[in-house]
Copies of this chain bind each other. A is one copy, B any other.
């Protein structure tokens, strides 16, 4: 039913990714750069090297369903990077700073085109397309849970970890947008340093 690939293999035996996946990736990339309203379904089809027929075959819900799938894709992508950064560092504060550096690198490498895929897709339609708002909320919530979990592992009190996770994700999000608008990684560099200090502060004095 919703399974993939008759013509192309799903587990990438020798061909590239299946059509459905290509469509999701193209949607994510395009909406990341142009937002939901600025991205056309025909443009998505072209970007995915698919046809309109295929797009509506895999996503009968149309553009809205495409956006939800794209947000979930972007969510997974950043969750992996975030988990990688947090796992690689002894101190969670260092992991968070590393994540900020990683975001700055991606931003610079794309010539400041690729901001947060979730933010740019969801902003502007939070009021009119509930499914998209909900998917974006779930993305943020998941990212926060990854940070909070890592902080708790490191001995932070549950409440401190939860609240710090809110600010870590919000600040990274805001700094990424500032960096994109300024075409300068300074906002992300500074945010990483400040977040590390803030986290360190709670490690030393858990009571808020």
Contact = CB atoms under 8 A, between A and B. Distances in A.
A101 B75 CA distance: 29
Nearest to A199: B194
A124 interface: yes
A171 interface: yes
Interface string A145-180: 000000000000000000110110111111101101
Given A171-B171, A174-B173, A208-B193, A124 B166 contact: no
A113 interface: yes
Interface in A86-122: 112-113, 115, 119-120, 122
A39 B153 CA distance: 46
A202 to B, nearest CB: 9
Contact of A170 (B33, B113, B178, B198): B178
B173 A178 contact: yes
A114 to B, nearest CB: 9
Contacts of A186: 166
Which 3 A-B pairs give the minimum distances between C-beta atoms? A174-B174, A35-B124, A37-B38
9 contacts: A34-B37, A35-B38, A37-B37, A38-B124, A113-B127, A166-B175, A166-B178, A170-B187, A193-B208
Interface of A: 33-38, 112-113, 115, 119-120, 122-128, 133, 136-137, 140-141, 163-164, 166-167, 169-175, 177-178, 180-183, 186-187, 190-191, 193-194, 197-198, 201, 208
Given A37-B124, A163-B194, A166-B175, 8 more contacts: A115-B123, A137-B183, A166-B191, A167-B194, A171-B191, A173-B173, A174-B175, A198-B198
